Each structure stands twice: as structure tokens, then as C-alpha cells.
Structure 1
């Protein structure tokens, strides 16, 4: 019985990386869901404090805004993993296999460049807020580096998911636009 070969088949060569990134993206989805649920409870608390107790709220509105931004940005990799972003399948389905593959590479590469730029610039914004100890101008006045941190983290994880999608496409783990040829 022959032993394992030194050259792994191309379809297995990035599988570990792709699985690891998919696991991280799934955790991002759970985190986004948790942020949304927490925001719901904070909103209910805010309504109770205002309507029933007749008091003003200090931190609730801002906290809900920050939680929903975190849910949106940290949830990006999970939505990408599920192919849940808005897309138009008409063009890829009308193309032949080779053109569909080229379009998939162009689309993923362009998205990767744009999101990497967003990650880079959001890191600078976060760093400036952290360095200068910016605070919100509200009564609550939380340090802004905390909510700003979700931007470079979320966009960075989105870049990682896009890289995993490129690896999956290049190694045959995934078909272009999920369309396998018969």
C-alpha cells in the first residue's frame, strides 16, 4: 500500500485555511446576532425608562447605534460566507465556464481591494481616536476608540473571508458564483 504523496491534490491545498476562515466568519455571525439582540433589549429598556418611569435616557440611544454598527460591520464576513450580499446572477449564468471563472476572479479581486482600503482607512480613524482619546460629545461620553474598533476588525475579517473565497475558487473547493458545470 503506497504511503501519502508529498504533492497534495490542488483541491485540498487551501482547505484548512478556508475551513478556519469559515469558522471565524461563523463566529462573526453569532457576534452580530448577539449585538442585535442586546440592542433590542437596550431599546426596550430605553422605552420603559422614558414611557413608564418618565425619566430621560443617557446612554441607551448611543449604545444601540454602536451595537447596530458593530452587528453590521462584524457580520460582513458571515454574510459573505453565505453569499448573502446582493448580487445579480443573470450575467454569471449567461456566461460560459471560462468567462464565469474570469468574472469571479475580477469581482472577488475588486471587492478585496475596496474592502482592504476601507480596512486600512478605518484603522487610521481608530488609531487617531485612540491616540487622541476622543470621546463622544454626549452626556454619556464614551471613548470613541471602542466603537471605532469594530471598523478595522470587521473590514479586516471581511478581507480574510474574501481571501478564503479566492483560495476556494483557485483550488477548486468552490465553483465560480456557486455554479458547477455538469
Structure 2
């Protein structure tokens, strides 16, 4: 189990790195677009679409990393009043429900990606990028997020991880 958990954590960290690269590339393309348009008075054809799809890709591919770091928004009012066993049960239930939702999104995303691939759908713009290349971030991100949820559930069940760890003020300020 330790090998699986470490492998999934490595995949999630890789997703965080890929999301960061996509964000940085989007920023650089925005700079290119501004300079091209307002300094050299050139038209831009592909930059806006690239930024939109790279930010969407960064969002979906970055999800497993955010889950690994426990960065998703959650309300900790109920866990605050529960004992350890109650927190553990609540964390497992929430993780299983999230796993089920992520699995549904993964299946639907695979269907959308496959349809775009088989029918060779494109953006229909001047850039005319193939949509399957742009949609692939959804199944990849959600598949790795499913693995991360499985690793989290295993960690909770085997008590390798605390459910709803208490937030420290010093860590919140950093």
C-alpha cells in the first residue's frame, strides 16, 4: 500500500508541476499578445484560445495536486465538534462521495474526449485546434484525482493520515 500511495502522491505532484507550466505559459502568451497588439499593432489569432484552454487544462490537471495538499475549500464546522472517530467516519464518507462524483466526471469526460477524437472536432476558429488535444486534460486530471482519493481513503482507513487535521494559525498566515 505504501508503494501505491507514494506513486499516487508523485503523480499528483507531477500534475501540480504541469499545471504550473501551463499557467506560466499562459502568462507569457498574454504578454506576447499585449506586445504584439499594442506595440507592433499586429493581429493576434491563436493567443486568446491558447490562454483559455491552457488555463482550463491547468485547472483540471492541477486538481489532484490541490487534493494532495488538502487545498480544496471545505467547511470544518461539523468536524470541529466531533471526536476522532466521528471525524474519521465523516472524512471517509466525504472522500467516498467525492470519489464517486470524480468517477462520474471522468466517465463523461472520456466520452466527450473520445467523441472529439473520433469525429475530429476542431475549435472552428482561425487557429482551428483539434478539440481532443484540448479536452484530454479532463480525463487525465480526473483519473489521477480518482487515484488520489483512493490513496486518501486508504490512508484514512489505515490511520496513516489524520482526518481533518487541525489548522495551525502560523501555517494559515504563511
Whether the TM-score (by the shorter chain) exceeds 0.5 is: yes
Given candidates 122, 133, 139, the residue that maps to 1:152 is: 139
Shift of 1:55: 1.4
Structure 1 equivalent of residue 20 of structure 2? 33
Q: Contact 1:15–1:168 at 8 Å: present in 2 too?
A: no
TM-score, length of structure 2 as denominator length: 0.93
Aligned pairs (5 A) from 1:130-149:
130-149=117-136
The 2-side partners of 1:102 and 1:169 are apart by 9
* 5+ residue gaps, structure 1: 1-13
2: distance between equivalents of 1:71 and 1:83? 17
Structure 1 residue runs of 4+, over 4 Å off? none
| Distance (whole Å) between structure 2 residues aligned to residue 161 and residue 115 of structure 1 | 11
Structure 2 gap ranges (5+): 167-174
TM score, norm. by length of structure 1: 0.89
CA displacement at 1:90 relative to structure 2: 1.8
Whole-Å separation in 1 of the counterparts to 2:32 and 2:88: 50
Contact 1:135 1:141 in 2 (8 A): yes
Aligned pair count?
166
Kindly indicate whether residue 152 of structure 2 is the aligned counterpart of residue 165 of structure 1: yes
1:17 Cα offset (Å): 1.1
**Larger of the two Rg values belongs to structure:** 1
Partner residue in 2 for 1:115: 102
